[in-house]
């Protein structure tokens, strides 16, 4: 069965960086784009960007341009999202999620990781 | 960016009631609209894609409709397990955007 398993909660100081991992199983990792979506406490969902696990190509929301990096390691079917220059308003649960159709850059999200809480506090 | 406006932001209804949520897009998105359910402490779950197509194993009491800029999501007979927040999401263009969510509670 398809699973996306994310790394655990992190506490970071303002200005630091955080790297969240998302390990995929149960399907061909390179066949499906992965996106990252975050959710601040008590708030809605915010799209951050995507990575093509096959090519490593990425696309980010303008809000995060210059501050986010998305990478992958195909040998271990794992995607990573690194966010730099953290601020208190980056405190959120970060989700990885899979596009539901083969080789589509975006469409609908059919599987989600369990989320990783990142807390930014001095 | 395409703005997605959901209403109401919250509602309270009785078990068995028909519940309808609306989602308005700031520009024409054709039928490029998905709906998700999120229960507290859990990741979102896909219910409907392309406005009206029910995801596999999603109960038939959930349905969606609309086109262009106006969309609806309906629960035909509210069940206790439907207590959650529901989000619409457009996939017409990047950046992908979500509605603000509708919290559904039991009266």
Percent of the residues in chain A that have a pLDDT greater than 70, as a whole number:
100
Q: What is the 3-state secondary structure (H, E, C) of chain A?
A: CCEEEECCCEEECCCCCEEEEEEEECCCHHHCCEEEEEECCCCCEEEEEEECCCCCCEEECHHHCCCEEEEEEHHHCEEEEEECCCCHHHCEEEEEEEECCCCCCCCCEEEECCCEEEEECC
Q: What is the pLDDT at residue A103?
A: 92
A59 vs B contacts (CB less than 8 Å): 94
10-residue mean pLDDT profile of chain B (107 residues): values are 98 98 98 98 98 98 98 98 98 98 97
Give A92-103 pLDDT, tens digit per residue: 999 999 999 999
Q: What is the pLDDT at residue A78?
A: 98
B36 vs A contacts (CB less than 8 Å): 45, 109
Q: How much is the mean pLDDT over chain A?
A: 97
Give A63-72 pLDDT, tens digit per residue: 999 999 999 9
Q: B40 CB near a chain A CB, below 8 Å?
A: no
Give A41-64 pLDDT, tens digit per residue: 999 999 999 999 999 999 999 999
């Amino acid at each position: 069965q398809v699973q996306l398993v994310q790394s655990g909660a992190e506490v970071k100081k303002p200005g630091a960086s955080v790297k969240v991992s998302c390990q995929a199983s149960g399907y061909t990792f390179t066949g499906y784009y992965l996106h990252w979506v975050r959710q601040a406490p008590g708030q809605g969902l915010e799209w951050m960007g995507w990575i093509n696990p096959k090519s490593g190509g990425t696309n980010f929301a303008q809000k995060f341009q210059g501050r986010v990096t998305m990478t992958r390691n195909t040998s271990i079917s794992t995607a990573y999202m690194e966010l730099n220059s953290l601020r208190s308003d980056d405190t959120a649960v970060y989700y990885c999620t899979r596009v539901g159709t083969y080789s589509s850059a975006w469409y609908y999200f059919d599987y989600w990781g369990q989320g990783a809480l990142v807390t930014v506090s001095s | 960016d395409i703005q997605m406006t959901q209403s109401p932001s919250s509602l309270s209804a009785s078990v068995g009631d028909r519940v309808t949520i609306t989602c308005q897009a700031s520009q024409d998105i054709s039928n490029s609209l998905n709906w998700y359910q999120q229960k507290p402490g859990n990741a979102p779950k896909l219910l409907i894609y392309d406005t009206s197509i029910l995801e596999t194993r999603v109960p038939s009491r959930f349905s969606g409709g609309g086109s262009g800029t106006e969309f609806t999501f309906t629960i035909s007979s509210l069940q206790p397990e439907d207590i959650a927040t529901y989000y619409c999401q457009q996939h017409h263009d990047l950046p992908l955007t979500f509605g603000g969510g509708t919290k559904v509670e039991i009266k």
